[in-house]
């Protein structure tokens, strides 16, 4: 006797929280943007590198921006070999692993670009997903400021290739060594014992990084005793001395009218600190190289307020900011803000090899930049729907496929309707849903005469809902009869409108 089994409950057709799907034009415009950017990287001699999504937890390390929570943030699991594996959280950690692993065969310097999703095991929120794209370019193996300058110049070229106008972006450049020099002057860093007071410096760094959001007074309060926000909530401060706070705030406000003015102020601030002086010299070299390469101070700005949250930067840091305004969720205008950032990190490879390997690079926030192009309507044009060959006679499918093949050979995107052809109105509704600009109609009498009806769907869109017979369509001005031999130019003419 056959056993009667209980039916298993149906699975839910949903994604895990914080993940999403990308459809049609969303995929196409992202791909077009990434292609424009990586073409620029490639033109600059950078080679593509594609690592796996999965790394050992050990190799990934703990370099997430949120250093207050060093153990969280990644999706990790243990495999049958008891090896802990995790999904990469950025493209820089895998690069450090690759360079350490292959340093004897890779060229020096090694310039590479990488594009792909990264994963963060964080609380999702509106517009904040647990999988998102990054698009990075890095140069490993040279300490030359020319490499930092090259990255900044290439970033500018890449943004323009993606569709951002010259007037709409700036790249802000700073140097961690200058900041460290100021920290020395403020008594927060002892060159003879760099690990002392590391925590206080970290707090100060992350506080300064909030300048955009909190303003000067807010940051000043948080560097000192603490701060009460608009809701009345109190946040304890870093408790720095007043003279240290003055020095740090002087540093973030050191941006002057010209690179020369900024550099001069910074030179004063770092005083006798060797690290600080080296940082100012690097910054000067970067500014000079950019200027010489035609990237002048109107878009390349030395800005000491840029510190970037990541703990691993050791020298130059930079951020690309879009300067045009958009409306926020409450309808108030605000600057679009940062879409890319990066800097020099000379210690990431050292984790593996014990030897310092200088490196510098940039990461573009792909979704942010796409949103910016969207806001400026500057991205790839929306995917045009295919030409639809409708089906009048079910037994002449071969003819319809032949028409579609003719159009495709001429480079025209085209498909034969493959739903139930019985209700002709449904075929036109389908064409409408696909955003098709042209429908092709051929009944048996048209076939006998070697012609087709071409329907201009944009022109006839408003009538689509009301008419469901072929004869009625023929009376519309948006429909025209053409010989099969004239099909390609006739369709091209409608598509070109």
Of residues 175 through 194, those in contact with a copy of itself by CB under 8 A are 193
| Residues shown for the chain | 497
Closest CA to 188 of 176, 175, 177, 202: 202
Q: Which helix (H) or strand (E) holds 388?
A: strand 387-389
Could you say whether residue 235 binds a copy of itself (CB under 8 A)?
A: no
Q: Which stretch binds a copy of itself (CB under 8 A): 265-273, 339-347, 401-409, 475-483?
A: 401-409
Residue 337 to residues 48, 162, 442, Cα–Cα distance (Å)? 28, 17, 53
Look up residue 125 and give its two tokens. 């929120």
Q: In the bound complex, what is the minimum distance in angstroms from residue 75's beta carbon to a copy of itself?
A: 7
Q: Give the CA count within 13 Å in the CB-facing half-sphere of 297.
A: 15
Residue of the chain from 37, 100, 306, 364 that contacts a copy of itself (CB under 8 A): 100
CB under 8 A: which stretch of 253-261, 371-379, 397-405, 486-494 binds a copy of itself? 397-405
DSSP 284-299: HHHHHHHHHTT--TTT
What residues from 111 to 150 belong to the interface with a copy of itself (CB under 8 A)? 111, 117, 119, 121, 130-131, 139, 141-142, 144, 146-147, 149-150
Phi, psi of 125, rounded to the nearest 5 degrees? -150, -175
With binding defined as CB under 8 A, does residue 423 bind a copy of itself? no
Between 96 and 222, CB nearer to a copy of itself: 96
Q: Which of 27, 167, 261, 356 binds a copy of itself (CB under 8 A)?
A: 27
Q: Tell which one of 1, 6, 71, 79 touches a copy of itself (CB under 8 A).
A: 79
Dist. CA 102–CA 89, nearest whole Å = 21
Could you say which of 19, 226, 261, 485 contacts a copy of itself (CB under 8 A)?
Answer: 19
Does 53 help bind a copy of itself (rule: CB under 8 A)? Answer: yes
Choosing from 90, 138, 209, 415, the residue that interacts with a copy of itself (CB under 8 A) is: 415
Name every residue whose Cβ is closer than 8 Å to that of residue 489 and which is 6 or more positions away in sequence.
none
DSSP per position, 386-434: PEEE--S-GGGHHHHHHHHHHHHHTT--EEE--S--S-HHHHHHHHHHT
| From candidates 1, 6, 11, 272, binder to a copy of itself by CB under 8 A | 11
Partner residues linked to 301 by β-bridges: 172
13 CB-contact burial (10 Å; exposed 0-12 / middle 13-18 / buried 19+): exposed
8 A C-beta contact, residue 141 and residue 98: no
Give the rounded distance of the alpha carbon of 25 from its chain centre. Answer: 16
**Closer CB to a copy of itself, 127 or 331, in the complex:** 127
Site pattern 310..329 for a copy of itself (x: CB under 8 A): --------------------
Helix (H, G, I), strand (E, B) or coil at 313: coil
- For a copy of itself, the binding residue among 37, 98, 137, 186 (CB under 8 A) is 98
62 binds a copy of itself (CB under 8 A): no
Give the residue with the Cβ less far from a copy of itself, 247 or 431. 431
| Minimum distance of a copy of itself from residue 69's CB (angstroms) | 13
- Using rule CB under 8 A, residue 444 touches a copy of itself: no
Cα–Cα distance for residue pair 308/365, rounded to 1 Å: 14
Determine, following the binding rule CB under 8 A, whether residue 49 of this chain makes contact with a copy of itself: yes
Site residues for a copy of itself, 145-164, by CB under 8 A, read 146-147, 149-150, 153
- Among 96-104, 274-282, 459-467, 470-478, the segment contacting a copy of itself (CB under 8 A): 96-104
Mark 100-118 as b/e (b = at least 16 C-beta within 10 Å).
beebeebeebbbbbbbbeb
CB neighbour list of residue 461: distance below 8 Å, 6 or more residues apart: 432
Applying CB under 8 A, among 64, 73, 97, 316 the residue interacting with a copy of itself is 97
Strands 316-327 and 479-483: unpaired
Q: Is 234 in the site for a copy of itself (CB under 8 A)?
A: no
Q: How far is the CB of 129 from a copy of itself (least distance, A)?
A: 8
Is residue 215 within 8 Å of residue 323, measured between CB atoms? no
Least separation in angstroms between residue 309's CB and a copy of itself is 23
Contacts with a copy of itself in 357-396 (CB under 8 A)?
383, 386, 388
């Amino acid at each position: 006797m056959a056993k009667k089994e209980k039916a298993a409950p149906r699975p839910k057709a949903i994604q895990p929280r914080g993940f999403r799907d990308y459809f049609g034009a969303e995929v196409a415009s992202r791909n077009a943007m990434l292609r424009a950017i990586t073409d620029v990287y490639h033109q600059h001699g950078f080679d593509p590198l594609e690592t796996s999504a999965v790394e050992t937890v050990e190799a990934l390390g703990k370099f997430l921006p949120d250093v207050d929570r060093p153990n969280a943030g990644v999706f990790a699991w243990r495999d049958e070999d008891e090896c802990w594996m995790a999904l990469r959280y950025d493209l820089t950690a895998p690069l450090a692993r690759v360079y350490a692993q292959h340093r004897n065969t890779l060229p020096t310097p090694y310039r590479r670009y990488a594009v792909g999703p990264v994963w963060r095991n964080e609380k999702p929120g509106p517009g904040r997903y647990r999988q998102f794209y990054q698009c990075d370019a890095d140069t490993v193996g040279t300490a030359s400021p020319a490499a930092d300058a090259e990255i900044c110049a290439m970033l500018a070229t890449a943004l323009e290739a993606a569709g951002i106008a010259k007037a709409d972006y700036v790249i802000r450049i700073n140097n961690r060594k200058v900041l460290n020099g100021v920290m020395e002057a403020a008594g927060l860093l002892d060159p003879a014992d760099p690990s002392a007071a590391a925590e206080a410096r970290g707090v100060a760094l992350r506080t300064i990084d909030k300048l955009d959001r909190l303003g000067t007074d807010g940051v000043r309060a948080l560097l000192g005793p603490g701060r009460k926000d608009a809701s009345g909530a109190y946040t304890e401060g870093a408790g720095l001395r007043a003279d240290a706070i003055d020095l740090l705030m002087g540093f973030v406000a050191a941006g002057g009218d010209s690179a020369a003015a900024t550099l001069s102020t910074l030179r004063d601030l770092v005083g006798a600190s060797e690290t600080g002086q080296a940082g100012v010299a690097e910054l000067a070299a970067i500014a000079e190289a950019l200027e010489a390469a035609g990237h002048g101070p109107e878009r390349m700005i030395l800005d000491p307020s840029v510190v970037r949250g990541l703990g691993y930067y050791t020298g130059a840091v930079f951020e690309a900011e879009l300067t045009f305004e958009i409306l926020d969720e409450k309808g108030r205008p605000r600057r679009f803000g940062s879409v890319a950032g990066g800097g020099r990190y000379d210690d990431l490879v050292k984790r593996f090899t014990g030897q310092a390997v200088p490196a510098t690079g940039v990461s573009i926030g792909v979704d942010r930049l796409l949103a910016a192009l969207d806001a400026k309507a500057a991205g790839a044009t929306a995917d045009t729907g295919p030409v639809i060959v409708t089906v009048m006679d079910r037994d002449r499918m071969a003819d319809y496929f032949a028409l579609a093949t003719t159009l495709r050979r001429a480079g025209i995107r085209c498909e034969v309707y493959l739903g139930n052809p019985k209700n002709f109105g449904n075929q036109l509704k389908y064409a409408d849903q696909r955003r098709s600009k042209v429908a092709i109609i051929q009944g048996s009498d048209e076939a006998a005469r070697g012609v087709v009806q071409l329907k201009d769907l944009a022109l006839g869109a408003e009538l689509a809902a009301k008419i469901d017979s072929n004869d009625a369509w023929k009376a519309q001005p948006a429909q025209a009869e053409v010989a099969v031999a004239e099909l390609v130019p006739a369709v091209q003419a409608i598509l070109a409108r």
